[in-house]
């Protein structure tokens, strides 16, 4: 079967994306194999009590900052060997809270400092770089504000510096609020995959492993030898750990040393964290990959794995390309089955490559408790699918070199299900990315209908899973938004302006939902009136090609004529260079093959041919020759209709309606943004 150049281009993009995504997926399975095959060979030695500086970079974390300082000061380690640096860049109530907390511990004999730079230059990396100027201890431990190190942390982790070339000991993250909600469970499972599969496999081999930014201990000599903290990327931890390993230092992961941390409970905070990780990884790829590739002392497999780790977030834009391409290919009747005559094998292959393999990995990770973790897998799949828009924007930001402020992920001290955070400070509003998520969700609904009406229902669940993900992430982004002054001190009664802002927000959300429902309804209606008749015609043309009975042929052709009349009536009438009337869905550079007036005449000719051949004896050579001619002409008409089908989606009317639909949603977003800025100005001025 021949396909149009446009459809062939889309098919090529789809196949290339599928191959690359499969390669990254298979590499994860390879790391899962390494994590099981290679046992943890890390040895320990008694190093006594070497001096250690504990650095705590903090910015506006009034809900968790004191909890962190308290936990660090409770560490079971000699006070004279432990120096604590509270690197406070805050500009809200956190400053006073930390001053009081640090002052209290100083009086109790702790070597603790409240360090204020007076600037946020370089953000977290800048604060760590500033602290290293006065750090003189052998080791440097780092904890983010949302972590709660256990009392025994230093005594369990420090002995793992058993060899002189070990520059970093990274510990596993625990999840103190894992069961708070579905999104915290999904995040916890995703992080466990990273630590118990990727970090474990790389730590026990010669592959490069990354520092996770917190819950780790560095040798001061290693940091200095690697060039110190750089501020050029959003993931200073990944950057430093790779530069250290290029210098010959080794990084070690300790799966049995777990440091609990608080997971983001607000969707907009989780999206911010994912955005920073995705963009930062691509920034590091641009910054470091060329040096890694030419470094002779780096093993070939380590180079390959470094490339995969630093570029793995390109999977997200590739997922969106596949998502956009699949309905187009299905509408064009392109066969995408793994084996053409076994459609069920396609969905089986997807399940085996995705959920099936992940369940096996979960079994190996959690052993007896694997069933409870496996129940979270569907939520994680939906969560990851929905996050693909947010992370794709991050990838393009990095590729095109867009500068971004380092935006920390706010935490609220939420540990139990009954804890509420929605009226706290630091709540993040939804962003313009939410609009894209809604668009992709609506497109997914249209794709499901295309899969069903094109007789490819096996692809409907695949499209549906992603569509659900987009709507789920967008819904939580909207529902988790609150208009709240970021620097408010204590819970208080909302002002009239705050109540008005929340009413505007709710009405805007309703307006967006109404517009989405209207757009989906129009899309389904448009498909039923513009595209589905073409699908029916292709089905009847298949019947013409496969039949040799004049009565059956006449029935098929009559149905085709009915559908053709519907389609032709909807197409604009134009005149070609020869003065002939045409009706063509291709409104830019139209061709005769997609002229439905000509197609209509060809069908009329087929009808006449069937009438003539019905009078010819069936056992004559003329009858067989005539049937072959009818079959070949029917196949050609089917090809012309398939070429025209994609252009029915991009008609002038559809483009205008789509533009109005998008402009309406953007208008609501713009109004909300203006209201939010006005509210912020009011809050900062104290009015």
User: Which of these, 400, 227, 198, lies nearest to 308 by C-alpha position?
Assistant: 198
Residue 230 neighbours by CB under 8 Å, 6+ apart: 125, 236, 239, 240, 243
Q: To 10 degrees, what angle do helices 5-37 and 315-331 make? A: 140
What is the spatial distance between Cα 174 and Cα 71, in angstroms, rounded to a whole number? 15
89 part of the active site: yes
8 Å CB contact between 359 and 377:
yes
Backbone angles phi, psi at 341, to 5 degrees: -95, 5
Query: What is residue 431's three-state secondary structure?
Result: coil
What is the spatial distance between Cα 515 and Cα 519, in angstroms, rounded to a whole number? 6
User: Which of these, 245, 222, 237, 253, lies nearest to 303 by C-alpha position?
Assistant: 245
User: Which of these, 491, 406, 414, lies nearest to 59 by C-alpha position?
Assistant: 406
Quick one: tokens of 645? 């089908």
Q: Give, as one character, the DSSP assignment of residue 428.
A: P
Quick one: tokens of 16? 């290339």
Q: Which residues pair with 218 in a beta bridge?
A: 140, 168
8 Å CB contact between 337 and 312:
no
8 Å CB contact between 313 and 391:
yes
Residue 58 neighbours by CB under 8 Å, 6+ apart: 65, 68, 86, 87, 88, 89, 90, 94, 98, 145
Q: Give, as one character, the DSSP assignment of residue 429.
A: P
C-alpha R_g of the chain = 31
256 part of the active site: no
Q: Which of 88, 89, 260, 535 is catalytic?
A: 89
Backbone angles phi, psi at 111, to 5 degrees: -85, 80
DSSP for 65-97? HHHHHHHHHT-SS-GGGEEEEEEE---STHHHH
If one counts every other C-beta atom within 10 angstroms of the C-beta of residue 350, the result is: 17
Backbone angles phi, psi at 390, to 5 degrees: -55, -45
Quick one: tokens of 571? 């197409």
CA angle 29, 31, 37 (to 5 degrees): 105
DSSP for 231-298? -SSS-HHHHHHHHHHHTT-EEEEEEEEEEEEPPP-SHHHHHHHHHHHHHHHHHHHHHHHHHHHH-TTS
Q: Which of 88, 237, 530, 535 is catalytic?
A: 237
Would you please indicate which residues are annotated as catalytic (active-site) residues?
89, 237
């Amino acid at each position: 079967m021949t396909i149009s150049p446009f459809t062939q281009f889309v098919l090529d993009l789809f196949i290339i994306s599928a191959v690359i995504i499969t390669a990254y997926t298979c590499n994860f399975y390879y790391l899962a194999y390494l994590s099981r095959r290679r046992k943890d060979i890390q040895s320990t030695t008694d190093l006594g009590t070497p001096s250690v500086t504990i650095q705590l970079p903090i910015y506006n974390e009034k809900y968790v900052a004191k909890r962190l300082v308290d936990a660090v000061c409770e560490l079971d380690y000699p006070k004279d060997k432990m120096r604590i640096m509270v690197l406070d860049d805050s500009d809200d109530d956190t400053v006073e809270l930390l001053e009081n907390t640090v002052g209290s511990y100083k009086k109790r004999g702790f070597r603790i400092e409240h360090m204020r730079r007076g600037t946020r230059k370089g953000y977290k990396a800048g604060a760590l770089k500033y602290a290293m100027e006065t750090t003189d201890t052998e080791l440097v431990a780092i904890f983010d504000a949302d972590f709660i190190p256990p009392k025994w942390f230093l005594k369990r982790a420090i002995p793992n510096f058993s060899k002189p070339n070990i520059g970093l000991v990274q510990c596993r993250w625990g999840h103190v609020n894992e069961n708070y909600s579905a999104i915290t469970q999904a995040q916890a499972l995703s992080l466990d995959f990273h630590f118990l599969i990727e970090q474990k496999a790389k730590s026990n081999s010669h592959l490069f492993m990354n520092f996770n930014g917190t819950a780790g201990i560095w040798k001061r000599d290693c940091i200095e030898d690697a060039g110190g903290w750089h501020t050029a990327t959003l993931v200073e931890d990944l950057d430093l750990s790779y530069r250290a390993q290029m210098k010959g230092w080794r990084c070690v992961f300790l799966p049995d040393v777990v440091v609990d941390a608080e997971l983001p409970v607000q969707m907009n905070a989780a999206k911010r964290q994912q955005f920073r990780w995705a963009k930062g990884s691509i920034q590091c790829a641009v910054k470091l990959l060329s040096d890694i590739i030419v470094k002779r002392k780096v093993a070939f497999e380590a180079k390959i794995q470094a490339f995969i780790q630093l570029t793995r977030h390109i999977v997200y834009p590739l997922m969106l390309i596949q998502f956009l391409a699949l309905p187009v290919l299905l509408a064009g009747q392109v066969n995408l089955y793994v084996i053409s005559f076994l459609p069920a094998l396609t969905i089986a292959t997807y399940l085996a490559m995705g959920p099936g393999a992940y369940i096996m990995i979960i079994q190996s990770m959690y052993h007896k408790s694997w069933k409870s973790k496996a129940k979270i897998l569907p939520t994680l799949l939906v969560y990851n699918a929905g996050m693909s828009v947010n992370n794709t924007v991050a990838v393009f930001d990095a590729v095109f070199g867009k500068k971004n402020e380092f935006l920390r992920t706010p935490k609220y001290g939420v540990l139990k299900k009954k804890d509420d955070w929605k009226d706290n400070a630091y709540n993040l509003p939804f962003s313009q990315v939410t609009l894209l998520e809604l668009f992709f969700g609506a497109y997914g609904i249209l794709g499901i209908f295309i899969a069903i009406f094109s007789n490819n229902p096996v692809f409907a669940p695949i499209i549906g899973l992603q569509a659900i993900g987009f709507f789920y992430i967008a819904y939580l982004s909207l529902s988790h938004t609150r208009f709240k002054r970021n620097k408010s001190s204590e819970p208080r009664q909302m002002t009239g302006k705050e109540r008005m802002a929340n009413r505007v927000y709710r009405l805007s959300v309703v307006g967006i939902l109404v517009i989405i429902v209207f757009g989906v309804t129009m899309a389904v209606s448009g498909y039923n009136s513009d595209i589905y008749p073409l699908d029916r015609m292709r089905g009847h043309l298949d019947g013409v090609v496969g039949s040799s009975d004049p009565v059956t042929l006449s029935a098929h052709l009559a149905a085709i004529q009915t559908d053709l009349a519907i389609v032709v009536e909807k197409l604009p009438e134009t005149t070609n260079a020869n003065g002939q009337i045409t009706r063509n869905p291709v409104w830019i550079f139209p061709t005769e093959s997609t002229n439905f007036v000509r197609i209509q005449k060809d069908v009329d000719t087929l009808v006449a041919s069937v009438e003539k051949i019905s009078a010819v004896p069936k056992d004559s050579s003329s009858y067989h020759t005539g049937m072959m001619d009818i079959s070949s002409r029917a196949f050609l008409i089917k090809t012309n209709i398939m070429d025209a089908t994609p252009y029915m989606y991009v008609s002038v009317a559809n483009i205008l309606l789509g533009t109005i639909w998008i402009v309406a949603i953007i208008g609501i977003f713009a109004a909300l943004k203006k209201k939010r800025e006005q509210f912020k100005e009011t809050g900062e001025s104290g009015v």
